[in-house]
Amino acid sequence: MTEPTSQFPEQDARAARTKLLTRLAGPLTRKNLLSWIGVILIVCTIRWAIFEPYKIPSGSMEPTLHGDERIGHGDRVGVNKWIYGLRIPFTKTRLFHLSEPQRWDIVVFKAVEENARHGTLIKRIVGLPGERIHIADGKIHVNGEAVEPPDELRDVLNYTTSLGQPPELIRSFILHHAQSNERSPLLSPANPTAQQFYEELAVVREGLGGRDPASLSASETEKLVAGLSPVSMNIAQKLFGILQQMQYPLKYGILPDDEFSVVPEDCYLVCGDNSPDSADGRYFGWLPNGHILGRAFCIGWPPSRWRDFSGFSRTWWGKGLLWGLPALVAVYVGMSFRGSRKRRFPRKPNA
């Protein structure tokens, strides 16, 4: 026999959802609702005032921090929200100031640009308020003198005055240029080498066959570009470099003018550790203090990448914040859940 079909499927579905919610969160009572509101307020307060996790979205801080936009990839860092003073929520105004950001601190901050690809970024502070900054020979020069980074960073930091040209980006540029079939105004159509360049791009375009270059694997991209002559590859690199400089002009900390070399009061110059591939403060300019959310003090995930940058986790109060507060929240949730179950299933008296 077939099961009878309900005449009220919407009501049945609503009842099933209510039952599931009750099993997960407890009874739909005022007291239980207030308990969950308390949990949410505690979590929000911790994230606003004390600690917040942040996922690294790009490779601009390699090799210190691994970045990847894909779900489940990339480092997660712990951010100390208290150390520089609390900001009023949804503003750039601080309620009070504690310690000031220091050179070599890794900070998480709201992007200076209005239409930035990532609204929240992470970089390292290299220039402080009032300093005259100049990048040369891979080093940060402050008021005319090179500043040496800490010993653990000397083999990591090498600041450049221009962005790099990784081979994968050059190949991607070639494929997109071939697909668009547009002639660059930077190349004279009467130039034989330019003519050869566009003839070879036509072969690449034919090999693409209408496919989106972004959908191709690295090996497929390499195979399509492999037929370009050294002369054409050189032209592609120069075109890419010019367009890159137009899109991401690096000025701050590089040009000698006061506007681009003297850090204003209450502002900082921040740079990525992966200097050749970081659109950082050299491009978007000085970072106001009010944009800074906090200091990254550790890599918390994945476990194989665990690292404490500040010694915070080795102090008694650091351990209390890291382990004590989550434990208190867990105890609070557990007690609330236990209380709700007792109210739902009262203990039967002994026979």
3-state helix, strand, coil in the chain (%, to 5): 40, 15, 40
Of 247, 282, 297, the domain-final residue: 247
Residue 190 shares a structural domain with residue 68: no
Same domain (yes/no): 238, 258:
no
- Residues 35/336, Cβ–Cβ less than 8 Å: yes
Considering the domain architecture, whether residues 154 and 71 belong to the same structural domain is answered as yes
Residues 156 and 180 in one domain: no
**CB neighbours of 157 closer than 8 A, spacing ≥ 6?**
138, 149, 273, 275
The answer as to whether 213 is a domain residue is yes
> Is 230 part of a structural domain of the chain?
yes
Contact 294, 81 (CB under 8 A): yes
Give me the helices (H) in the chain, please.
9-25, 30-49, 167-180, 192-208, 218-225, 230-247, 258-261, 281-284, 316-319, 325-344
CA distance 126 to 134: 11
Domain match, 180 and 73 both: no
Distances in whole angstroms, Cα of residue 177 to Cα of each of 181, 183, 195, 205, 332: 6, 9, 14, 9, 59
| Whole-number Å distance between alpha carbons of 336 and 82 | 29
The verdict on 282 and 137 lying in the same domain is yes
State the distance between the two ends of the chain, measured CA to CA, in whole angstroms. Answer: 43
Q: Active-site residue numbers? A: 60, 123
Residue that terminates a domain, selected from 219, 247, 275? 247
CA distance 163 to 172: 16
HSE of 275, CA atoms in CB hemisphere, 13 A: 19
CA distance 138 to 117: 27
Report pLDDT for 120: 94
The pLDDT value recorded for residue 287 is 98
Residue whose pair of structure tokens reads 């601009």 in the numeric block: 60
Residue 88 per-residue DSSP state: P
Tokens matching residue 244 = 């890159």
Report if residue 18 sits inside a domain.
no
Domain that holds residue 75: 56-163+249-310
Q: Is there a single domain that holds both residue 254 and residue 108?
A: yes
The verdict on residue 3 lying in a domain is no
* Cα 268 from Cα 169, distance rounded (Å): 30
Question: Residues 203, 257: one domain?
Answer: no
What's the CATH code of the domain at 258?
A: 2.10.109.10
Residues 150 and 256 in one domain: yes
203: Cα separation from own chain's centroid: 38
* Predicted local distance difference test score (pLDDT) of residue 349: 56
Decide if 205 is inside a domain. yes
Please give the tally of structural domains in the chain.
Answer: 2
Tokens of 119: 């609204």
Q: pLDDT value at position 42?
A: 79
* Domain match, 124 and 64 both: yes
Q: What pLDDT shows up at residue 290?
A: 94
pLDDT tens digits in sequence order for the chain, 351 residues long: 455 555 656 666 777 776 776 766 666 777 777 877 887 887 788 788 888 889 998 999 999 999 987 787 889 999 999 999 989 888 888 988 889 999 999 999 999 998 888 899 999 999 999 999 999 999 999 999 999 999 999 999 999 999 988 898 899 999 999 999 889 888 998 999 999 999 999 999 999 998 998 888 989 999 999 999 999 999 999 999 998 889 899 999 999 999 999 999 999 999 999 999 999 999 999 999 999 999 998 898 888 898 888 776 677 777 776 677 777 777 877 776 666 555 555 555 554
Say yes or no: 305 and 237 in one domain. Answer: no
Residues 143 and 76 both lie in one domain: yes
- The Cα-based distances of 147 to 24, 43, 198, 262, 316 in angstroms read 56, 40, 47, 16, 33
Which of 65, 284, 278, 281 has its CA nearest to residue 166?
Answer: 278
The answer to the question of residue 11 being in a domain is no
